Amino acid sequence: MTITQLPGFSHPVHDVQMTFRALMNALARPGKHQSISPELALPEGINLSCAAACLTLLDLETQVWLQANTSEMIKNWLVFHTGCRLTTDLSKADFALILDSSKLSELSCFYPGTDEEPQTSTTLFLQINSLTGGEPVKLTGPGILGEIHISPIVPENFWNEWRKNHLTYPLGVDILLMAETEVIGLPRTVKAEE
């Protein structure tokens, strides 16, 4: 296997801490934009926030599911810098990296956890182009004061799939919507309406 030619974070400690804080806030305050903008040389096909999240959350003990068309360059980069294990078994994946959102199939095919251990479900990093300009939706739920309106550009039928995912609570997947330098968190507790 060839190793990557790209370095990781230039200031590993601070960059990881800042990224982690943004991701944590994204899930604690669903629907609010959090910014992630460390300095990072990116392999082709992955955006900044998605790459930073990978370097922050993946390690030797995490299993990552990748889409079939993910490039070797990205795989090598991930494995070198995080040491994560790549898996093709959806039920074993801690994280799923969706770089090509148009190929996102049903959310129900991802691992939703079990009644005893709902926290073992898969977390999805969904790379999208923009957090604005898409179909507007209203979010309500824990962590949201009243309601919040967002309009990310998501794949077709995404919000239908999301409603089904929300109904399986306490099981279900959590999703991080990753635009270039901003992220929105969608924990399974969030209810989405037109």
Block residue for tokens 């999703």: 175
1 part of the interface to another protein, by CB under 8 A:
no
Nearest distance, CB of residue 10 and another protein, angstroms: 8
Decide whether 6 or 144 has the Cβ nearer to another protein: 6
* CB of 12 vs another protein, minimal distance in Å: 7
CA dist., res. 194 & res. 179, Å (int) = 22
> Of the two residues 1 and 68, which places its CB atom closer to another protein in the complex?
1
Q: CB-wise, 4 or 121, nearer to another protein?
A: 4
| Complex with another protein: residue 79 or 153, whichever CB lies closer | 79
Angle of helix 72-82 relative to helix 48-57, nearest 10 degrees, comes to 40
Q: Which of residues 116-175 bind another protein (CB under 8 A)?
A: none
Q: Is 137 helix (H, G, I), strand (E, B) or coil?
A: strand
Which one, of 134, 186, 190, lies nearest residue 157 by Cα?
134
State the minimum distance, in angstroms, from the CB of residue 151 to another protein: 39
Range 64-93, binding another protein (CB under 8 A): 80-81
Q: Are strands 85-87 and 123-127 parallel, antiparallel or unpaired?
A: unpaired
How many CA atoms lie less than 13 Å away from 128 in the CB half-sphere?
A: 24
Separation CA 191–CA 169 (nearest Å)? 11
CB of 189 to another protein, least distance (A): 36
| Residue from the set 4, 49, 56, 122 that interacts with another protein by CB under 8 A | 4
Nearer to another protein, 12 or 142 (CB): 12
Structure tokens given for 93: 């994946």
Measure the CA–CA gap between 9 and 80, rounded to whole angstroms. 13
Nearest approach in angstroms of CB 41 to another protein is: 10
Q: How far is the CB of 60 from another protein (least distance, A)?
A: 10
Site size for another protein (CB under 8 A): 9
Please report the sign of the dihedral spanned by the C-alpha atoms of residue 152, residue 157, residue 159, residue 162: negative
Q: Does 12 bind another protein (CB under 8 A)?
A: yes
C-alpha span between 192 and 150 (Å, rounded): 10
Which positions lie near another protein, rule CB under 8 A?
3-8, 12, 80-81
